[in-house]
Structure 1
Amino acid sequence: MGIVSAQMQQAVLITYLCLILVAFSKVHGETQKPCEELKCSPHGPAIRFPFRIKDRHPDHCGYPGFVVSCNDRHETVLELPTIPVKLSVESINYERQEMYLYDPDNCLVAKLIEIRNMSFSPFYVIDRQNITLFNCSSLVMQHGGLDPNPNYPVAAPCLNSPGHQVYAVDSAGHVEDLQSCTKMYNVFSVPYYFRGEQVVPFPWSKPNCTECDAEGKKCRLKNSDTNNEIECVLDLRKANMSATTKSVITGAFLGSFVLILLVIAAYRVYSYDKNEKENRLKIERFLEEYRALKPSRYSYADIKEITDQFKDKLGEGAYGTVYKGKLSSDLFVAVKVLDSSKGDGEDFINEVGAMGRIHHVNVVRLVGFCADGFRRALVYEFLPNGPLQDFISSADNKYCFLGWDKLQDIALGVAQGIEYLHQGCDQRILHFDIKPHNVLLDYNFTPKLSDFGLAKLCSKDESIVSMTTARGTMGYIAPEVFSRNFGKVSYKSDVYSFGMLLLEIIRGKKNIGATTENTNQDYYPEAVYNLLEEGEDPRIHFGEEGDDEIPMKLAIVGLWCIQWNPVDRPSMNAVVQMLEGGEKLTKPPNPFASTGSTRSFATGPSRNSNLELETIVELE
């Protein structure tokens, strides 16, 4: 109710100010001829600034380079001198600043081949692909052609010859259905198109009218400006002024009581919106720099359509709710809708910024995102087997035991994913929330790291990252994250969390820490070490006899990873080698000994981590 109330106050304040401006001042820009919104056909896209229709709009109604025309079929055609072919405009999304082009002759592929090396200024290509052209015999055509599914080849009828049909296929895709066809040649760097719809998107970044739209104003070129700068002006058509309304506002303006109310309302709205506007501006600046990484940006309306009005809920966390969605008939996604009442947008920026730099088989792929006002969402690939936690939480639930070989493969995959975050990217990514809930499993039970809301980026050649507050999940957080008395925060903090994950895998149920509620129960990691000391099997039995080497290996690696001193923990590269190797591992030092120093993972002497590592500034 607080959000709704503040928005109503803001609406009332804006209305008062608009009426006062109309009644007592000359509106800026009144001398410029109004520019109407026009269409080439009743069902065609609406044309307004920065676009204009040639011969129907004055020149000042559009931005240079944004000219369209209406052809004899009443189609909207893009008019750019650098494009030798004609492409029609299917739709224009002014909020996302994207236009969608198609070929009315149903031969978009051939048109894109012709224009692939040409400039589209002021537009740019979102993504490109390599395609291969195949010449198919009439025998294929007699059987109804090829499957029109978007994952299959696309016909290019304008390239056909008598008795032959030309198809284009993604060079990296499968070509099993083209065995009766002849390969013609490859075409590189073709603008990406939606194969099922034969539509290609072309966004623009300048002019940027989003701020005008957010203020409820109209965007246009400045008067007598030769630098093509834009300005935001009041849209008089939305004011809907009447003589009666003007009289009421005149009286209100003269009344001191109304003035006082306006000042109070303005102050309250300013106080409420200040932080939200700063957060939105921070996110928009980040997304502008992030554009080159090329994930899809969706509006909130798109998110509702993808999730079928948030019909299928998968789960709920501290910062948002996850829904199952569908981008096409065979492409499912998981949509995480963030809670707008929590945080300042930092988690959103962390997750989008980190995952846009990651391309690894053991890390969840970010398909796209939504930053539509105060509404934010993240779109990931859908992993049907859910979190690892479901398969190790207990032995008597509905999820079957995966077996030690599969659990070892999962542990190795998670380790390789973390190693990639630490060493495989341009900047080192520290996850800070590694736990079984954040390890998702695909159809083949391949593990993928997820949830980068707490992640931090730092230089690869540095060891330490500065932090102002502890972050992570109880039971998995490294001791130095709680207190600098245990050392300084670094990539070794992720190693600790991974060690706790390994111990929970072999335990097979939720970790029990040394909490006041469980004072009569042994601290499980310490119990594992004691079992190793006694030569016993630390695993939890599931009613099946099997090889005890795997749980023993996981226990030893896990205990190396949770050494109290960060310097004594191995790097993730060393962890991967330990999990892959077949040789017998050295038993780690006791991580729970109350001595002043511990042995290093390397065979060298004891060291003090507080003296060896220098603090660096974390990157924004």
Structure 2
Amino acid sequence: MVKIITSSLCLIFLAFSTVLGEPQDTCKKLKCGDKGPAVYFPFSLKGGHPDQCVFPGFVLSCNEKHETILELPIPFKFAVKFAVKSIDYKAQAVQLSDPEGCLLVKLLKVFNKSTSPFHFSKDHMTDLTLFNCSLAGRQLNEPEWQLQEPVPCFRGPGYQVYSVPSSYSIGVMSLLYCTKMYNLSSFPYYSNDPDNLDLEWSEPNCGQCEAKGKMCRLKNNGTRSEIECVDFSKAGTKRKWVTTGACLGSFVVLLLVIAAYRVYSSDRKKKEHQLKIERFLDDYRALKPSRYSYADIKRITIDFKDKLGEGAYGTVYKGKLSSELFVAVKVLNSSKGDGEEFVNEVRTMGHIHHVNVVRLVGFCADGFRRALVYEFSPNGSLQDFISSPDNKNSFLGWDKMQDIALAIAKGIEYLHQGCDQRILHFDIKPHNVLLDHNLTPKISDFGLAKLCSKDQSIVSMTTARGTMGYIAPEVFSRNFGNVSYKSDVYSFGMLLLEMVGGRKNVGSATENTNEIYYPQWIYNLLEEGDDLRIHIDEEGERKIPKKLAIVGLWCIQWHPVDRPSMKAAVQMLEGGESLTMPPNPFASTGAAGTNASTAARNLNIQLEAIPELE
């Protein structure tokens, strides 16, 4: 902001100095490329110089190879293009070449036909004779052929056109297989330099200005052909002093403006900030899921400008509904699935309103284009803060971690018991827990969720769903029990253990068989009374990670009936520190393991599977 104001003030001072009559070099030197000639008056570069710098017939252009191009017009035909190699402004001469390597052929088209202000240099005129020679009888070892110059781009099947200086004696040339075409008198083609063409101009006469170290320009109030000489070096020195003074003056004015603005706005900013928060809360309370068109989604995301992340089913962008209300827009991949994830999220979240569940603001179902619009959580996901408790830069502290764990548990309990229908998430993990500006956790991503009646215990599933490392055993094998809300309890338990140790739960076995499974390592430390070997700032904080670990181990019992409900997990997290250790869930990983009672196994078998609600 400071730079913008300073630049604006400088421009104002410079504009003022111009009004006072300070001359400006508006027809400055330009180039097509690093190696191209400098282009300035009387020449101008198309698209680069303003109209007051354009002199008729002297307009150049740049091609895709960054070559400077001059076009010589021919009446009733297309202009012929030449590449400009150099410009001598003092001698008023320009050297051209043909970018296509067919110089003589193009000269035949423009010779005495062009209406340009240029004329051919008399020092490079010659008399030529063109011969059409058959290649059938040519012997490459005949020295006479070396006196003849083949014309580039002037050949056909079985013949080649040669140019021969008219002064050559016919006796020294092998013309047995050649036919004379015609003579070219005073032709601008020099056989010793067949690649270059020299042109000159008479008007406008700027050579004297250049010789004096000055530059030509069109008179401001004259006709389109009247010119004048200007010494821009002196004007430039004066303008530098004016510029320096303008910038210094603007900087002083800027300091005064900033000081006055800060005094004026210090109290106002606090009131605006508070008003903005209140307005956001009012809008959010009144907000219900709305349907948007795809054009609305593009407008909200400013054409998908700010990408927040990308997953298997879509990409998330930051958007704005108003100046105060930001949202996260998840654009679903049309190639993934048949829209089941989209239907799940809209159907599941349409009427949910809980402080620890992300709010669905709206959705888009415009043909095959589908998107979901959520409230925006500026602090990202919980995964960003639990990568390692030993990392002090991202670790939030154990008191805050306990608050987050309890809030997540209450959010899951609400999904299981607080809605008209029970909602099973099936993908509880740190990546799907978002943190708002107050670090309040919000459960998100209901693409794998299922609905069931509250008076039923379990659901039927045809395929496993979730993320490896957080999926309950019964989701893989019914030998452990039927799939129910206890599957979310298992995922929550793995999330708690990851919050304690900061390790990703990517599976129940490691690649190295000598390494112990991380939850089992935690259980062994607690059972033996050892320290959890994690970062502790204060002595009183030791109880929090231990509590989280014990609750997590209760939640990851292999058999669902051995796990607590989410209501019981909330009570355990809210209660005191006298938590009992759960049975060892790692004593056996089989269906007939000893860590679950016979009654529990029988209870699992007796539960009747019910279908999920459509």
Shorter-chain TM-score tier: 0.5 to 0.7
Report whether the alignment pairs 1:548 with 2:542: yes
Q: Deviations over 1:453-488 (max 9, x none)?
A: 000000100111000100000000000001111111
Answer yes or no: is 1:483 the counterpart of 2:474.
Answer: no
Q: Which runs of 5+ in 2 are unaligned?
A: 1-270
Aligned-pair identity (%): 78
Asked if residue 425 in structure 1 is aligned to residue 429 in structure 2, the reply is: no
AA in 2 matched with 1:343: G
Aligned residue in 2 for 1:561: 555
Residue equivalent to 1:528: 522
1:406 aligns with 2:396: no
The residue that corresponds to 1:301 in the other structure is 295
- AA matched with 1:364: V
Q: How do residues 258-407 of structure 1 correspond to structure 2 at under 5 angstroms?
A: 294-395=288-389, 399-407=393-401
**Matches for 1:87-236 after TM superposition, within 5 Å:** none
Change (3 A) 1:529 1:443: same
Q: Are the counterparts in 2 of residues 565 and 598 from structure 1 also a CA contact under 8 Å?
A: no
Shift of 1:608: 2.9
Q: Deviations over 1:36-81 (max 9, x none)?
A: xxxxxxxxxxxxxxxxxxxxxxxxxxxxxxxxxxxxxxxxxxxxxx
Deviations 1:264-298, CA, capped at 9 Å, x for gaps: xxxxxxxxxxxxxxxxxxxxxxxxxxxxx951111
2:442 maps to 1:456: no
Q: Is the Cα–Cα contact under 8 Å of residues 513 and 524 in structure 1 kept in the other structure?
A: no
Matches of 1:579 and 1:516 in 2, distance apart? 30
RMSD (CA atoms): 2.8
Assess if the C-alpha contact under 8 Å between 1:401 and 1:542 holds in 2. Answer: no
**1:321-342 CA deviation, whole Å, 9 max, x = no partner?**
0000001111100000000111
Gap change, CA 1:516 and 1:401, over 3 Å in 2:
closer
398 and 555 in structure 1: CA distance in 2 versus 1, 3 angstrom threshold: closer
Alpha-carbon distance in structure 1 between the residues aligned to 2:522 and 2:596: 20
Could you tell me how far apart the structure 1 residues matched to 2:536 and 2:577 are?
A: 26
Structure 1 match to 2:236: none
Whole-angstrom distance in 2 between the partners of 1:517 and 1:597: 24
CA distance, structure 1, for counterparts of residue 482 and residue 563 of structure 2: 13
Query: For the Cα contact (< 8 Å) 1:568–1:598, is it kept in 2?
Result: no
Classify the secondary structure of the residue corresponding to 1:414.
Answer: helix
Query: Are 1:440 and 2:414 counterparts?
Result: no
Q: Does 1:587 align with 2:578?
A: no
Q: Distance in 2 between matches of 1:148 and 1:389?
A: 33
2:389, 2:399 → 1: CA distance? Answer: 17
Name the aligned partner's letter for residue 300 of structure 2. I
Contact kept, 8 Å, 2:585 with 2:595, in 1: the verdict is no
SS class of match (1:608): helix
Q: How far apart are 1:399 and its partner, in Å?
A: 4.5
CA distance, structure 2, for counterparts of residue 357 and residue 295 of structure 1: 8
Return 5+ residue gaps in structure 1 as ranges. 1-146, 153-168, 175-191, 193-292
Question: Is this contact kept in 1: 2:309–2:315, CA < 8 A?
Answer: yes
* Counterpart AA for 1:454: L
Larger Rg belongs to:
2
| TM-score (normalizing by structure 2) | 0.52
Using structure 1 for the length normalisation, give the TM-score.
Answer: 0.52
- C-alpha displacement of 1:305: 0.6
Change (3 A) 1:417 1:324: same
> Is the 8 Å Cα contact of residues 331 and 370 (structure 2) preserved in structure 1?
yes
Aligned residue pair count:
339
In structure 2, relative to structure 1, the CA distance for the partners of 1:355 and 1:517 (3 Å cut) is same
In the other structure, the counterpart of 2:602 is 608
Read off the aligned partner of 1:376 and give its amino acid letter: R
Please name the residue that 1:577 is paired with.
571
Deviation at 1:397, TM superposition (A): 5.9
Q: How has the CA–CA distance of structure 1 residues 450 and 460 changed in structure 2, closer, same or farther, with 3 Å as cutoff? A: same
Q: Deviations over 1:157-190 (max 9, x none)?
A: xxxxxxxxxxxx99x959xxxxxxxxxxxxxxxx
Contact 2:428 2:491 in 1 (8 A): yes
Deviations 1:356-382 (A, max 9, x none): 131100000000000000000000000
CA–CA distance in structure 2, aligned partners of residues 519 and 546 of structure 1: 36
